[in-house]
Structure 1
Amino acid sequence: MLALTRYVLLPLSFNSKCIPFSEWISLLTLCLAPLIVHVVSGSPSGSSLAAKRPHWYDYVCHYNPTSILWRYAAITDRRIRALYWSNSDMAASNAIFWTEIGWDGREHMIISAASYCIHLPEHPHAELVSSTTIKTVITVAQGIAAFYPLVDSLVNVKSSGSYVGMLGVDSIFTPIAILGLLRLFAARWLTEDYIYNTRSDIPLKTLPSVPEDESGSTEHLMSPRPTSPMDVIARYRPTSYWPSRVFRTVYMLILVLFWAVSALYVVPINPAPNSLGRFMTTTMFSTAMLYVVFLTITVILYLYYFLRGMSTTTIIPCISSPFYRIYTYCFFLYIPALIAIASIETNRNPGGGYTSVNWGNLTACTSTLYPVGIEGSNIMGLTTLVNPDLPPVHEPLFMSNTSDDSYWTFGFQGYCSGLVT
């Protein structure tokens, strides 16, 4: 049964003084790789159809993971609802249009942007050999590599909490990599092989005369390139279409599951019956809070728009609202602060990995070693505990059989130095 426990939030400590500069290059590369891959692969360049181009701060909200995950969901949902899916549908669904009224990713842009299109993808699905496919492969590979330790920490009782417990600067963005697996839903219909130009008088020389639909057929009951609003209405089923509802429900459940996992590392709940306390470093707490806040906002926004049937736009509807801009700016301002905190606390653990926990301090012999014995046995030894006010609950580190003065180690993961008093 889950029970509330208490937290011991450790103060920020400088643990990284022994890491050389050359090692920092590798650490920061491992740190930023998941975030960079997620942003670069998930946010396409904007297509400006207005005389006045967007400012840099108008683009920033597209780099928000909430915007990227929404785009994946909306493209997949649009494809599910499509009666016909052609080259022009895929191009307009992947593009993000800047118009006189701001960002617009609604279905009517298939018509509104048609006269600005000077290049369409050759097929209505992703090419096997393309930059988009390469980005998908890299994103999925990173997600799988990050997903395994998370599952192990949740399934394996003995390693429970190790996913956060071993958190160093190299792994603070691995949850972003795991969320990148949601790209698989839309992977078949992602492309960057399109060009929209503000000069609508450019002849459409590169457009195929008769685009094919995804099945390869060119025998459509209507034009594959819609020319009127009624064409768009007739090409897409409503959001009440049950396969669309099923997809949105599954997508939401996945995000809620991620939110619940993040909350487990913040809410003081510990399922282990013998655990009386739980400690967290500043890095652990700061990282967990980032994902709890990010996923809370994401889940609330998606739930609101999904229930109102507003998944017909590939750009999250509130992208230009003051709230969403403030949320995005705070998200990206928090990232360098989190990297700085994690960099200060990161050090090598006895096993060679990176962690924000200073195992040397936590196993200081003069304050946290306790003699223990096993009932009915002549074996005795020492165990460590972070809080000296609580009884020892950890397995013995060093044990001695007093009959022959020989020694064994059980569950040894590190060492301490100093005098036992």
Structure 2
Amino acid sequence: MGIGISFNDYSQSFNFSDWITLLTLCLAPLIAHIIAGVRSPVCLDSQKLSWHERIGHYNPTSIIWRYFAITDRRVRAKKWNYNEMAASNALFWIHGKWDGSEAMIERTRNYCIMDSEKARLRRVQLVSGSTVTTIVVTLQGVQALYELVGGITHNIDIAVTMAINNIFFPLAVIGLLRLPAAIWLTDDYAYTTMEVGSTRGAEIVIGSDVKTAADSTTRALDAQDNTHQDNTHQDNTHQDKPFHAPHGRRGLTVRALFLLLTIGLLIISILSLSPWSVTHYSATTFSISVFYIIFTGVTVILLVVYNLLGKSTTTIIPCICDGWYKIYTCALYFVMLILITIAALNTRRTPCGRYTSFSPGHDAYSVLCGSSTYVEEASSLGVDMPYQNGSAARVNLAIPLAYYSYGLATVVESGLIAVQGFDGWCELISLNNTIELFERFSQPS
């Protein structure tokens, strides 16, 4: 059986206020996912940080990787305090590249600004911006998961429900991957380009001295790193590694569970949009299907490959500086823009107020709005029952009510009733101002 794709422009049916509402609903999951997952960079290098070096952090795959890596690092840590938590959340830019390795925890320890209260922290404070962000992302993810799982369990064609207001619902579901790392995700940290000891209120270099201070910081970090390597080489037997091995019991458990959770959420997100479960697409659902199949496929492949290659101990995805990943990230956002445009043109409102991208000829009404109820007015007029499309073989429609299941039956004269078509959600269907007459099913006693 072939797969059909249809496109209709319904954009003129909405006014300006409607568009603001729809675009807000559309972009909310995407914006929340990005704001929750991207941190400001910590520049410890005088080399200019250009926009194309930053763009990789805005790729949803980079955000998923960060959640995984921080969860893994915390589980494998032999000790954990504010410095470990801050360094694991920070995006360090040094030597013209990003560095999220475990070594940066010790290398930047003397550059982390903290007071005595922060020094005691081992997790995110309950009253904090990170907690609020987690709550927002979680609520969005739960709502999206409820809609998707509810459609699957009730055998509902979820593709029918896809319109501009929820094209990023699958991305909201992926945002639930923040939960395993939630209590260690923070943006309440600061680093300075001047070495600080245990003193508070260290001076932060600004203005024309930034480049000089950054160069000095880089040289100091390199010298510190070389000294540390020499000491380790001289007396390696006395060095206690701060983390359990990635291939140990803790590391393998985290990796297995996170990969299973990631794959499970991604399968749920695309299950009802895949080509093997849908025989007819609207232009919107087809675009969504292609987008999420490519995105989720790349995400899972990178997670698996870098774990197998032993490159999973960094909180920044290893390929973030690669040219192909930058191009892929830009292409991803370009496709998102195209997807929003197609969905904006293709979306219409059903009589019950919900949205779909399918034409009225598709059976979207019953899927989105549920079963209609009989019109009560019929019984008050002494009619046995209103007309129900297809329930009585001897009713011969002159103009078939092909897509409207119920009608309002009213008495015309003895033995005859008139049926006016309703869509089932209190909107009268005009039949060119004509009234069709039907024989009464049974005469009232």
- CA drift at 1:279: 2.0
Q: Which residue of 2 aligns with 1:9?
A: 5
Q: Displacement of 1:190 after TM fit?
A: 1.0
Q: Would you say 1:344 and 2:345 are equivalent positions?
A: yes
Q: How does 1:223-234 map to 2 (within 5 A)?
A: 228=228, 234=241
- In structure 1, the residue matched to 2:244 is 237
Equivalent residue number for residue 95 of structure 1 = 90
The unaligned stretches of length 5 or more in structure 1 are: 209-225, 271-276, 364-370, 386-395
Question: Does the Cα contact within 8 Å between 2:140 and 2:173 map onto a contact in 1?
Answer: yes
**CA distance in structure 2 between the partners assigned to 1:384 and 1:246 by the alignment:** 56
Determine the C-alpha separation between the residues in 2 that align with 1:246 and 1:71. Answer: 17
For 1:206, the aligned partner's letter is: R
Report the Cα offset of residue 43 of structure 1.
0.6
Contact 1:283 1:356 in 2 (8 A): yes
Amino acid at match of 1:330: A
Task: Choose between structure 1 and 2: higher helix proportion.
Answer: 2
How high is the sequence identity, in percent, across the aligned residues? Answer: 35
1: CA distance, partners of 2:54 / 2:12: 38
Counterpart in 1 of 2:154? 156
Taking structure 1 as the reference length, the TM-score comes to 0.79
1:393 alignment counterpart = none
Cα distance, 1:268–1:334 mapped onto 2, change above 3 Å: closer
Output the CA distance in 2 between the equivalents of 1:262 and 1:190.
Answer: 25
Cα distance in 2 for partners of 1:195, 1:285 equals: 45
Who is 1:214 aligned against? none
SS of the residue corresponding to residue 196 of structure 1 reads coil
Question: Any conservation in 2 of the 1:118–1:204 contact (CA below 8 Å)?
Answer: no
The reply on whether 1:206 has 2:200 as its aligned counterpart is yes
Of 25, 37, 40, which residue of structure 2 is paired with 1:42?
A: 37
Secondary structure at the aligned position of 1:235 is classed as coil
Aligned to 1:285: 286
Query: Equivalent residues in 2 for 1:229-308 (5 A)?
Result: 234-270=241-277, 278-308=279-309
Ranges in structure 2 where 5+ consecutive residues have no aligned partner: 203-224, 233-237, 364-387, 410-414, 435-445
Cα separation, 1, equivalents of 2:132 and 2:407: 53
Per the TM alignment, residue 400 of structure 1 is displaced from its structure 2 partner at its CA by 11
Q: Of 394, 397, 401, which residue of structure 1 is paired with 2:405?
A: 397
Within 2, Cα distance between the matches of 1:418 and 1:175? 40
Q: Determine helix, strand or coil for the equivalent of 1:6.
A: coil
Is the CA contact 2:273–2:285 (under 8 Å) kept in the aligned structure 1? no
Match of 1:168 among 163, 167, 180: 163
| Contact 1:374 1:380 survives alignment (8 Å) | no
Retained in 1: the 8 A contact 2:177–2:262? no
Instruction: Pick which of 135-144 and 109-118 moved more.
Output: 109-118
C-alpha deviations, 1:292-338, integer Å up to 9, x for none? 11100000000111223322100001111112111101011112211
Structure 1 residue identity aligned to 2:242? R
Letter in 1 for 2:123: H
Counterpart pick for 2:100 among 96, 105, 109:
105
- Letter aligned with residue 268 of structure 2: V
Tell me what 1:23 maps to: 18
Query: CA 1:55/1:417 → structure 2, altered by over 3 Å: closer, same or farther?
Result: same
Return the letter of the residue paired with 2:264.
L
Structure 1 residue 339, shift from structure 2 partner: 1.2
2:347–2:356 Cα contact (<8 Å) kept: yes
> Residue 255 of structure 2 aligns to a residue in which SS?
helix
Give, in whole Å, the separation in 2 of the partners of 1:280 and 1:264. Answer: 14
On the 8 A contact 2:421/2:429 being kept in 1, the answer is: no
TM-score by length of 2: 0.75
SS at match of 1:103: strand
User: For 1:359-379, what per-residue CA distance to the aligned partner results, in whole angstroms no more than 9, with x for missing partners?
Assistant: 2x558xxxxxxx98569x656
- Residue correspondences, number: 369
Which one-letter code corresponds to 2:339 in the other structure? Answer: L
Structure 1 pair 263–169 and aligned structure 2 pair: CA distance change class (3 A): closer
Aligned to 2:3, the other structure's residue is in SS state: strand
| Equivalent residue for 2:186, pick from 186, 191, 216 | 191
Offset, 1:408: 10
1:80 aligns with 2:88: no
2:368 corresponding residue in structure 1:
none
Residues 266/29 of structure 1: CA separation in 2 closer, same or farther (3 Å cut): closer
Deviations, residues 104-146 of structure 1 (Å, cap 9, x unaligned): 0000001222232223744010100111111111111111122
Give the SS at the match of 2:320. coil
Q: Matches of 2:239 and 2:114 in 1, distance apart?
A: 20
Distance in 1, Cα, partners of 2:284 & 2:199:
55
Shift in Å, 1:150: 0.6
Task: Tell me by how many angstroms 1:167 deviates.
Answer: 1.6
CA RMSD after TM alignment: 3.2
